[in-house]
Amino acid sequence: MKKILVPIDFSCEHDSIIENAKNIAKAFNSEIRIINIVPPLPYEIRNRLEVNSVSTMGDMVGKLIGSNTYEDLRNEMARNLKSIHKKILDIKRKLFAEHLNVEAYIFEGKREESILGEASEYKPDLIIMGSQGHGYRFKSKDGGIYSTIIKNVNCPVLVVPKHRISSKKAKIS
């Protein structure tokens, strides 16, 4: 097991995903490739912003954009990308500090397609991903994104469950 692909979305469970990847990489002297997928700006909004003209979708797009200008949206996207970049570099540095071979990438695209594309190109021996999270919990027609990944790759997929915190109070005697 030499290559591990780790798609993360910085949800609450990403620490567990990284911890699993770290432990397996140490045990098998594996390389880790961490990826984060940034969803693309919807075409209608991108087109409206680029062309800056009224189209047949004008009213709907105008409501989606609100009072934001192209510059406002571009600046917000840049801030989000800088934040993701910082987080992914922090993870990479921590894993490097533990003498692990780590690569980290940010892609723009649809999550399922991007993960499957990266799995096809990188050819990992294992994929480690979360069962839920900010982005990966959204359902495809056959289940979660992880379900689609499992059905369409040629390697094992370790799905890290979301940690549940019990709402029951422990009785202390």
User: Cα torsion for 41, 152, 84, 61, to the nearest 10°?
Assistant: 10
- Among 3.50.50.60, 3.30.70.580, 3.90.550.10, 3.40.50.620, name the CATH number for the domain at 3-41+82-160: 3.40.50.620
Confidence at 156, pLDDT banded by 50, 70, 90:
very high
Over residues 1-47, the pLDDT tens digits come to 899 999 998 876 788 999 999 999 999 999 999 999 988 766 555 55
Over residues 103-141, the pLDDT tens digits come to 999 998 888 999 999 999 999 999 999 886 544 444 445
Over residues 41-87, the pLDDT tens digits come to 665 555 555 544 444 444 444 445 554 566 777 778 788 889 999 99
pLDDT score for 49: 55
pLDDT score for 144: 73
Token pair 């993960």: residue: 115
Q: In what order do the strands lie in the sheet with 101-108?
A: 101-108, 31-38, 3-7, 126-130, 157-160
pLDDT surpassing 90 at residue 173? no
pLDDT score for 170: 42
User: What contacts 58, CB < 8 A, 6 or more positions away?
Assistant: 48
Q: What percent of the chain has pLDDT over 90?
A: 47
